[in-house]
């Protein structure tokens, strides 16, 4: 059946059948307590299984392997969530952040080099945050100075998700120290195998090492790996951050409202009216989140703060829901020290999910940053004072 003659219901039937046939049976048990190597192998295998039938990058342009309409993407993510499919954790930055950046601001050569490689499994991380500049990217101190062989980069990045696995990094560095803060930053594609790059995983409260530090010591980046023009990195970075706050939220909302809420209900005493009241309140919030996402995706021209509203709502609802899950699980939540990798933050290992939920109020701009965007761009409130 062609894309032109296929209805949405036809497509939903097709995806449902695909899920029943292709989602690995008992993957949650198989991904619990595994090594890094086993996690990476599973993720790469799952990505290629999705890719083989056109489900890995539905949001990309058709000429690069995507081409699904927004309505079809909604159906795909709904069905993947409903059938409890593994998440593409390892490829998240590659297929969303890196792709959005290259498509919006990369050169033809950069797109030809990297987009097919991402489909083949090339792994990316993001080097934005620094020890002295978390959500305030304008305060970053990593420098890139023009030399005879390219840019020479020195500095340190922090909270780089999955950097220990990454082959490439989306890197922001200051190229003009005398320019106003947002006007002296450039955007680079960094080969993580370059001399002078050192990655140090950070052990988190959950026991995982999802985040990493990246140390850069006289790292040379060729000039053809600059994205956009020199000193326009701030504008390019907004494309990257928009990808994190936008369409990716649809899948996360579906997983939270589908399997996540189902596991929460299973762990609750349903003969307790107080518990039922809390569950009802959460279900109302989840219904609101999914409706918000559906409106956002369906909108022909999203408002300037719509993506921030969705990201803020999701991240703080995730905290409230996993907090309640931890409360309901009681002591068992504190003794469950493993969760299935390749899952989300609603795995049912509630204490680990709750600890992990806090990271979602930080990346792509903290909740405070999102509220500022909503206030200024969405509501038209006066701008807060900016640093020079």
H or E element, residue 233: helix 233-245
CA distance 112 to 109: 5
Of 27, 45, 89, the residue nearest 344 (C-alpha) = 89
Distance of alpha carbon 37 from the chain centroid? 21
Would you give the end-to-end CA distance of the chain in angstroms?
Answer: 57
**Residues known to be catalytic:** 244
1 and 68 Cβ atoms separated by less than 8 Å: no
156 and 127 Cβ atoms separated by less than 8 Å: no
Q: Collapsing DSSP states into helix, strand and coil, what is residue 128?
A: coil
341 and 88 Cβ atoms separated by less than 8 Å: no
Q: Residue 150 to residues 144, 191, 272: CA-CA distances in angstroms? A: 9, 13, 66
What lies within 8 Å, CB to CB, of 324 at 6+ separation is 264, 278, 282
CA distance 99 to 296: 20
> What number of other Cβ atoms are within 10 A of residue 208's Cβ?
15
Q: Buried b / exposed e across 82-92, counting CB within 10 Å, b at 16+?
A: bbbbbbbbbbb
């Amino acid at each position: 059946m062609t894309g032109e003659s296929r209805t949405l219901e036809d497509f939903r039937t097709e995806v449902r059948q695909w899920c029943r046939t292709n989602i690995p049976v008992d993957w949650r048990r198989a991904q619990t307590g595994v090594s890094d190597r086993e996690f990476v192998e599973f993720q790469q295998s799952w990505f290629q299984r999705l890719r083989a039938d056109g489900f890995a990058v539905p949001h990309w342009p058709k000429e690069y392997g995507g081409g699904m309409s927004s309505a079809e993407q909604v159906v795909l993510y709904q069905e993947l969530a409903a059938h409890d499919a593994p998440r593409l954790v390892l490829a998240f930055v590659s297929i969303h952040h890196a792709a959005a950046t290259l498509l919006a601001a990369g050169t033809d050569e950069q797109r030809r080099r990297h987009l097919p490689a991402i489909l083949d499994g090339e792994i990316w991380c993001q080097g934005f945050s620094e020890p002295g500049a978390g959500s305030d990217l304008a305060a970053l101190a990593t420098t890139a100075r023009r030399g005879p062989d390219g840019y020479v980069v020195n500095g340190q990045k922090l909270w780089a998700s999955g950097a220990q696995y990454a082959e490439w990094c989306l890197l922001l560095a200051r190229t003009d120290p005398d320019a106003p803060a947002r006007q002296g930053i450039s955007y680079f594609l960094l080969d993580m195998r370059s001399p002078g790059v050192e990655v140090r995983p950070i052990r988190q409260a959950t026991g995982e090492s999802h985040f990493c530090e990246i140390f850069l010591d006289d790292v040379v980046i060729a000039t053809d790996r600059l994205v956009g023009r020199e000193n326009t990195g701030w504008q390019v970075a907004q494309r990257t951050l928009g990808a994190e706050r936008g369409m990716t939220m649809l899948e996360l909302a579906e997983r939270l409202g589908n399997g996540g809420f189902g596991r929460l209900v299973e762990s609750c005493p349903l003969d307790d009216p107080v518990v039922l009241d809390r569950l009802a309140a959460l279900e109302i919030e989840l219904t609101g989140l999914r409706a918000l996402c559906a409106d956002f995706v369906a909108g022909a021209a999203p408002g300037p703060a719509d993506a921030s509203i969705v990201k803020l709502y999701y991240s703080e609802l995730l905290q409230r829901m996993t907090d309640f899950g931890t409360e309901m699980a009681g002591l068992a939540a504190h003794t469950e020290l493993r969760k299935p990798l390749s899952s989300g933050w609603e795995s049912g290992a509630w204490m680990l999910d709750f600890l992990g939920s806090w990271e979602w109020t930080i990346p792509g701009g903290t909740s405070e940053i999102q509220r500022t965007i909503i206030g200024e761009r969405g509501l038209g409130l006066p701008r807060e004072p900016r640093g020079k």
